[in-house]
Structure 1
């Protein structure tokens, strides 16, 4: 029987201006597009611009049957992202972590209290996304069932992003989605990278490695969808016996330089010639 797609959840969003987004009765101020004419009243500070939201809408319109029951987020800031995803998906449990040493904003606390969500949504501050042990501990202790949606909007740096992925992705159930935002910052012509990103390995390298894992047929990753603003990685069916020691590079098969070179016609003749000349 043909399934009829439900109304897309992103249809509930209303853009009042470039820097003002409404989701039902909630107000989000988009800081990338901040103007001096703000009149939205109480609001969440939001770091997701309209093109990114449109990319998400396009992706989840294709995945209308995906309804996550448990969400784990890396990166909190003002809490706007937590509220955004929670209101769209209505998960049973939603946990978010952040490196900053601070507390939830008053508007976020008001949101939790007014909707009686304090048991379903929990924030954990002072948590480094590169701390694999702590992330694994939170996954195992704060969820009755492993999260089926993880969203990384934290450092955007290669090393800590890889650490989070290696700690959390193996613990997800098959079919779960792991989203990494802002992977392409190295290639944004109009983007001036923060000083702390200068000279750092770009996230592009991680996306290449994830793609290599898919091509290696390891069944760790089922599928990768790449958009300009995010990449969505679907958990494969392979059971990882020891998640704590998971290393992405061990699930990538590459032809060695020698194997590649010796596959080139006339390679041995070239080598013999060079040896003779030298």
Structure 2
């Protein structure tokens, strides 16, 4: 999504690399101070997912979008104020939902262990839990992040787009200390979720994207006609959208990637082989996904932030 930059500060931010954190995160960070934290998060996320199956994909996307701006500091969770429009209200994040799940878990944790567990850590744990609950891999989440106090909507221009080509995506990931394999691996998170027509309609109308499977394109056109009046219309991002598996990669090989950015991974020599390997070996994909999520969780971790009492406002 194109956004006009009117601020020199915003322009400089595009050129700024979010550093890969060297902070000493540990899996047992709350072992003494709040041993029940992960169970509280799990139970809250599980209950919300049973009530609304969309929660899993939404929380995974939320973690990714948070880490890609100022690093994993829960800045995405902050509400806008009269004097500041936050990341939550930046154009790419308007469709991010289910913030209430993290808020509910936070309220429970504050009762059990006041002023102890950061919202940034909670989001990292929740992202792991939704993957594991969807039959995907489990991994020990490293913790010890602090919550940031700054959140700006204009910085969301730095988020990778579903319209990006592979070169742009590789460059964007590299700025966060993530390599080509991380790009292909983390893109596999699209095995969960759904997209509205607006995110891919340009690929199927007027001149159809030649990389799309012709029968799949016809199917998408039926669901998303040019004069589409159904705002809820769209397509699941893979054929088993509620299960975390490697079907996403199999679909790309068949030309059935919903997003142009997804399908582009199979048309580039730098990423094609990785797509092939994950399509053939789900266990390999699971192993690499867990490793890349740990790596993503270390992007831009701050040590001088705070532990918010409520995740949507600074203390």
Where on the TM-score scale, by shorter chain, does this alignment land: which range?
under 0.3
TM (normalized to structure 1)?
A: 0.27
Kindly indicate whether structure 1 or structure 2 has the higher relative contact order, using CA contacts under 8 Å at least 6 residues apart.
Answer: 2
TM (normalized to structure 2)?
A: 0.25
Higher helix share: 2
Higher strand share: 1
Larger radius of gyration: 1
